[in-house]
Each structure stands twice: as C-alpha cells, then as structure tokens.
Amino acid sequence: MKALILAGGSGTRFWPLSRRRRPKQLLGLDAGTSLLRSTVDRLAPLIQPEDVWICTTELLADAIRAELPEVPDRQVLAEPEGRNTAPAIGWSLVAMDAGDDLVAVLPADHLFADPESFRGQLELAAGYARRDDRVMTIGVTPRWAETGYGYLELGASLGDDGAREVTHFREKPDADTARAYVDGGNHLWNGGIFVFQASTLLGHLVRFEPEIGAGLERIKNSPSDLAAAYGELPSISIDYAVMERLRGIGTVPLDGGWSDLGSWEALAEIMPKNEEGNAVEGDVIAVDSRDNLLYADQGTVAVVGVEGLVVVRTEDTVLVIPRERSQDVRAIVARLKADRRDDRL
Amino acid sequence: MKALILAGGSGTRFWPLSRRRRPKQLLGLDAGTSLLRSTVDRLAPLIQPEDVWICTTELLADAIRAELPEVPDRQVLAEPEGRNTAPAIGWSLVAMDAGDDLVAVLPADHLFADPESFRGQLELAAGYARRDDRVMTIGVTPRWAETGYGYLELGASLGDDGAREVTHFREKPDADTARAYVDGGNHLWNGGIFVFQASTLLGHLVRFEPEIGAGLERIKNSPSDLAAAYGELPSISIDYAVMERLRGIGTVPLDGGWSDLGSWEALAEIMPKNEEGNAVEGDVIAVDSRDNLLYADQGTVAVVGVEGLVVVRTEDTVLVIPRERSQDVRAIVARLKADRRDDRL
C-alpha cells in the first residue's frame, strides 16, 4: 500500500500562527511535533516513507522536503496551483504511476490519539478495497452536529469486523440535517481518509469529471503543459466530484481520538487544562481568568478577568477572539488579503 | 513663579506599555507627545523652562534630561529612592532654595484639554497664594464617585472669580462618602496641583511631620548624607501629611478637560473613537468588535467578536483585560514582581 498525503493547506484557520509559508501542517500542534511529521510517523509501521507521496504547493515543497528528509524528494509533488482535492488526487495518482496499487489518501494535518487502532482500521479498509475493488473511507463517530464535514450513511455490514457499506455520502449538510444525522445514530463523519486501488479511483474520477480526465490525459502525454493544463482543471473537492456520486463506498469505523484540528477551539479542546480551565502554551500570566486558550508563541501573554477567549501572540501579531467564534479568524485573513497585507499572511 | 514637576511615577498602570524605565510620564499618550513634554509645554507661556524643576528617580533622571533638553540638567532632581510626595516636595523645595518664591507643584502625567484655561486658573491660584500666603489647589468638577482622589469641600468665596476657601480636604474617601460628595455638589476633586510660597509649605510640612523636617535639615547641612537620610524619611503623601490637616486651603475651579490618565480605561475615554466605538492606535484589524481600546505599540492587533476589552501589544508582551477592570493590571505587575520577572517590568 502507498500513502498519498494531501499537504497543500493554506493555513488560514490557525492564523496568526499559521501563515502561507508556515501552514497548519507544519506547525508543532501535536505536542510540539508538526502535524505532517506525525502523519508520516503514524503510518510508518504500516507504510514506510519510501512508499509515501506528498501533494503540496510550490510555495511549501522545499519546507516539506526539509521536514521529511526520509521521503524521497521526487515524491513530494508540487501543484502548479491549488485546484482543490479532486485534481490534486487525480494528478498525484498519475504522477505516482500507481496502476492497480492500493493507495491511502490522507490529510496532512489531522490528529489521532490512538495511532495503533488507526493503523488497524486502515489495514481493514485496505482489505475491503482490494477484495471488493471498493473505495473505502474511515468513519468517525460524530460528537456534535458539525456542518463542515461529510456524513456517511451506514448500510449493510461488509463483514464481522464493523466495516459497513455506505448507502449515502452527504458532504457539508445544513445544520438541521446534521443534527438529524447525529441524533439518528446511523451516520459517521467522513474522516477525510480514503483507501482504494488507484486505477479504480481514477476511473471514477474520469467518469464523473470528464474535464479533469481530459486534463490529466494532456498532462500525461505532454508533461511540459503541466502548468497551463493544471490551471484549467475544475476546482472541486473529491467529496463533491466522486464521493457524493459514487455507489458502493464502504467505511471502517474509528472510535475516538480523531480530530481534524479545524480551529483554535479544536486545539483548545485537546490541550491539557490547568485548574482554571485555561489551556496554556508559552509564557502566560493569567489572573482571575477561566476557560481560555492562551498561546504565546513569542513573548508574553498576560490576561486579567477574561473568559472563553483565544489569545494568540506571535512575533508580529496578536489575535483575540472568543473560543466559540474561532472559525471567524477567516474574516481577519480575508481582510488582510483584501488589503494586500502580505506581511501578515 | 517656579514649577516643580513630580515625575517619579513607576508606571504600573499602563503596563505593558509602561515599564520601570519607561513609565507613564514618558509615554506618548498625549496624541503622540509624552505627558512630561506636554506638561512643560503647557506651562511655558507662564513658567519658562529655566524656572522648571523636576523631581524624579535616579532610574529615570537621564531619560528625563534627554526628553527635556531645555530644562537645565541640575534642575532635574533625582531622589535616592521613592518616599512618596511629602518627602519629594520637601526635599525639592530645599534643593531649589526657593525661599519665598511662588511654586506650583504639578504631576508630570496629567492631561488638560484646554491649556489656556489651565494657565489662567493657575495664575489665579498664584495670586491668592501670594495675597493670602495660602496653599492653593486646583479643583476639578467631579464626574464620578472616584475613591482614588482627594475631595475639596467648598467654603466661602475668596473673590468674584470663583476661588473658594476649602473647609475640608478629604483624601481617598470610601465609596459611599465619595457618592455623597459628588451628589451633594459642594465638593471638587483635588487635581494634584498645589500653588504656594515655598517657605510657607515647608513650614507646614515641618510642623505636621517633624521627622521629615529633621531629615531635610540633616540633608541641607550635610549633602553627602543624602542617600542615608532620605531613606529614613517617612513615606507619606503630601495629601495625608499636610493637606488633610491644614486649615485655610483655597481652591480655584477648573472645569472639564482634566484627566489624570489613571488607567487604560481613562485613556480609552479621551481617545477618539471610530464608528464601532473602538479607540485604536497602531496597526489594528477589528472585525465585529465594539467599544474596545486596541493599542498596537508594535506589530498587529487583530480582534474578532469582542467588546469592552483593552488589548495592548508591545514588542514583547500582550495584555488583554476588560476595560472596567483596567485598574487590575496591577495584579499582573505584582505577579511579575513576585516572580522576579525583571525582563517584563
């Protein structure tokens, strides 16, 4: 089995710690270790670095090669530009020349509390991907009615090991639908990990998105056209391009310990707390303050009488935002882009 | 008339912007100009720099001489250590060899929106100080029931210009008393400015605080004993040592425009506000946030969805505190002192 790690994230959710050149996957958010490094280390007992491929952007390729010296340089693929996950996966599979090989696609920036059980379920999924020529996913028991994830509706058992057919894949439902899915107990979150035979997934992708298929064909036949051809690929996620449309997906459940660390709030949740409920990193002085995430990447963070805030201080910036609004850091990043503040992006 | 500016403040209220070596009076809080510079400039049409004396600490003397090159170096007096305002004023008057001269004592770090009316009232006070040999104060119409100030109870008129006798000087009343004073309408705040003939004030000080009198005598007769003798002076404010005990004080009212800038909240009140009610300094990005003081001395301050906060970013520190608790920044400074964090004091 080969691994294809998607590491093109632009890193807006952990701003100001994450920047264009230092996105989330390169931050030491896994107890000081970068999420990308943890992802590779987590796979190693099952998939060795010589079978690991990384898809990223030109901006990050050098930093990623430096972070992962054990992965052959040529296996760090640099997209000419970001076109979302369907083109990224399609192009990577072509570049990997993966044929009928089993491939696990994984995000570079997720956390797993229990790496051993993660590897066990990944192996299980690989078995069904091979046996049934099926596109398999890793499903996570939902913990709240998240509207930013995909949901897997569970069908018949594939075996006696918990693997199930997926009767419906629903990307990013509205709040009411998500609530109903979670309350109903018959849905899992899509954990963003897919296992399949490369030729199978490529076949589905070309069938559902002929424009991507034509573009990939052009790139294969004329590698010097890469930049031009890639820029014309439709920008669409693999979830919308393939998963929502494909019949016969399967899933293997993974209970507990998964986090996509999608926000400062998600980081706050997994960090240890002190007696006042504060999650603290770096040089922090907190007086009469509760349930905050206080993150001093550089310098000192001092707070008095505040509750439920995220305060992040970097070398050049500080962010203050209520924990429950931490997704809205995107509004700051959008403002910076509009103002062409490249010095802070 | 001579001016004696008290500039020994240790600068804890504007932490982290204020530090031991850069206290409030040296900060550019008056629209970019240091409060000390503004104090000297405000006096200049009435009291020229060659008649200005500054009492400060050894830690700050050089910085103050650099800030005020037009004040003769020897008129910047450096206390061996801080012993509060009664010893500071007594010793300065001795060092000034002021005799029967009129002297105005002024804090280095207050603001006046209307410098012309300030000078007019100061001149008025000087007239009564000379005519009646009276210790005169500048009284400010109280705007809230502050417990940190002194209150002047108004007695008979001294003339037809608003000057009044003070029948009672009450330093730092409790909250109920302060409330009654403000509601009663017969009290003014003590603005911290006193005008008197030097010999008169020194006479009162020696009479009420003989220990200070003996110490000053020793210093006068044996200047080399300064450090030892000064360290033994009782640490007491001029308000408790003289003003509360002295009969026959007078006051001249000053309406509006005075602020002692006693906290971040006081600064927020006098700063201009944008449409969202935010007072902003430096590189600030505020999204969906109201009524904050956002102060970027260095780098960028970014906030989303917060209200009524003070956020101050300096080169090495950030402070976050609700505006109404901004006095409690002292708790942080106390913690830093206890932890011997001289790098942040």
Cβ pair B318:A305 closer than 8 A:
no
Chain A residues touching residue B290 (CB < 8 angstroms): none
Phi-psi region of B39 (alpha: psi -120 to 50; beta: other; left: phi over 0): alpha
Give mean pLDDT, residues A290-319. 98
Compute the count of residue pairs across chains A and B with CB atoms less than 8 Å apart.
105
| Residue A56 pLDDT class (50, 70, 90 cuts) | very high
Number of neighbours of residue A200 by Cβ within 10 angstroms: 16
CA B279 to chain A, closest CA, distance in angstroms equals 16
Q: What is the DSSP letter of B44?
A: T
Q: What type of residue sits at position A16?
A: P
pLDDT at B256 over 80: no
SS3 state of residue A171: strand
The pTM (predicted TM-score) of the whole model is 0.89
pLDDT, residue A11, reads: 76
Q: Provide the b/e sequence for B309-335 (b: ≥16 CB within 10 Å).
A: bbbbbbeebbbbbbbebbbbbebbbeb
Tell me the average pLDDT across A186-207.
97
Q: Please write the tens of the pLDDT for every residue from B265-281.
A: 999 999 999 999 999 99
Cβ separation B313–A313 shorter than 8 A: yes
**Chain B closest CA to A112's CA: distance in Å?**
30
Q: Which one of A287, A292, A298, A304 makes the best mutation probe of the B interface by having the most chain B beta carbons within 10 Å?
A: A304
Instruction: Using alpha carbons only, give the angle B268, A339, A326 rounded to the nearest 5 degrees.
Output: 65
Provide the angle, in degrees to the nearest 10, between the axes of the packed helices A198-208 and A85-96: 140
**pLDDT digits over A250-287, tens only?**
999 998 689 999 899 999 999 999 999 999 999 999 99
Q: Which tokens in the block code for residue B107? A: 């804090």
Q: Over the stretch B45-104, which tens digit does the pLDDT of each residue have?
A: 999 999 999 999 999 999 999 999 999 999 999 999 999 999 999 999 999 999 999 999
Helix (H, G, I), strand (E, B) or coil at B299: strand
- Cα–Cα separations (whole angstroms), residue B166 to A7, B243, B253: 75, 10, 11
The contact set of B with A (CB < 8 A) is: 16, 285, 287-288, 299-306, 309, 311, 313, 315-322, 325, 328-329, 331-332, 335-336, 344
Task: Name the residue in chain B with its Cα closest to that of A299.
Answer: B316
Q: How far apart are CA B28 and CA B39, in angstroms?
A: 12
> Which residue's structure tokens are 């209150």?
B151
- Model confidence at B10: pLDDT above 90: no
| Helix A210-221 with A198-208: angle, nearest 10 deg | 120
Half-sphere exposure of B21 (CA within 13 A, CB side): 5
Q: What is the pLDDT of residue A135?
A: 98
3-class state of residue B139 by DSSP:
strand
Nearest to B136 by CA among B101, B163, B98: B163
| Region of A16 on the Ramachandran plot (φ > 0 left; ψ -120 to 50 alpha; else beta) | alpha
The answer on pLDDT for A293 being more than 90 is yes
Residues 6+ apart with CB under 8 A from B177: B170
pLDDT in tens, B281-322: 999 999 999 999 999 999 999 999 999 999 999 999 999 999
What are the structure tokens assigned to A218, written together? 């052009």
Any idea how long chain B is?
345
Chain A residues with CB under 8 Å of B325 CB are 304-305
Contacts 24+ apart (CB under 8 A), B333-342: B333/B12, B333/B15, B335/A285, B335/A287, B336/A285
Q: What is the pLDDT of residue A31?
A: 87
CB contact under 8 A, B302 and A287: no
Mean pLDDT of B12-31: 93
CA nearest B159: which of B136, B192, B182, B191? B136
- The mean predicted confidence, pLDDT, of chain A is 96
Q: Which residues from B are below 8 Å from A335, CB to CB?
A: 285, 287
Name every chain B residue with its beta carbon within 8 A of the beta carbon of A287: 328, 331-332, 335
Segment A180-204 shows an average pLDDT of: 97
Contact A303 B321 (CB under 8 A): yes
Rounded to the nearest angstrom, the minimum Cα separation between A306 and chain B is 7
Q: Cβ B318–A300 below 8 Å, yes or no?
A: yes
Contact state of B285 with A311 under an 8 Å Cβ cutoff: no
Write out the DSSP string of A253-318.
Answer: EE-S-EE---SHHHHHHHS---TTS-EEEEEEEEES-BS-EEEEEEEEEEEES-BSEEEEE-SSEE
Beta strands in A99-230 (DSSP E): 102-107, 111-112, 136-140, 150-157, 164-171, 187-197
| pLDDT given for residue B257 in this prediction | 86
B133 half-sphere exposure, CB direction, 13 A CA radius: 7
A304·B16 Cβ contact <8 A = no
Are B325 and A304 an interchain contact pair (Cβ–Cβ within 8 Å)? yes
**Alpha-carbon span A52 to B335, nearest angstrom:** 50
Q: What is the pLDDT of residues A212-264, one digit of tens each?
A: 999 999 999 999 999 999 999 999 999 999 999 999 999 999 986 899 998 99
- Its ipTM equals 0.89
pLDDT at position B171 is: 93
- Test mutation, B264, B300, B327, chain A, max A CBs within 10 A: B300
CB contact under 8 A, A328 and B304: yes
Of the pLDDT bands very low, low, confident and very high (cuts 50, 70, 90), residue A333 is very high
Contacts of A329 in chain B (CB under 8 A): 304
State the pLDDT at residue A137.
Answer: 98
Residues of B in contact with A299 (CB under 8 A): 315-318
pLDDT in tens, A100-142: 999 999 999 999 999 999 999 999 999 999 999 999 999 999 9
Closest by CA position to A6, among listed A69, A72, A62, A64 = A64
- In angstroms, the CA B240 to CA A151 distance is 72
- Using CA coordinates, name the residue in chain A closest to B313: A318
Contacts A16 to B, Cβ<8 Å: 300, 302
Per-residue pLDDT for B255 more than 90? no
> pLDDT tens digit string along B198-224?
999 999 999 999 999 999 999 999 999
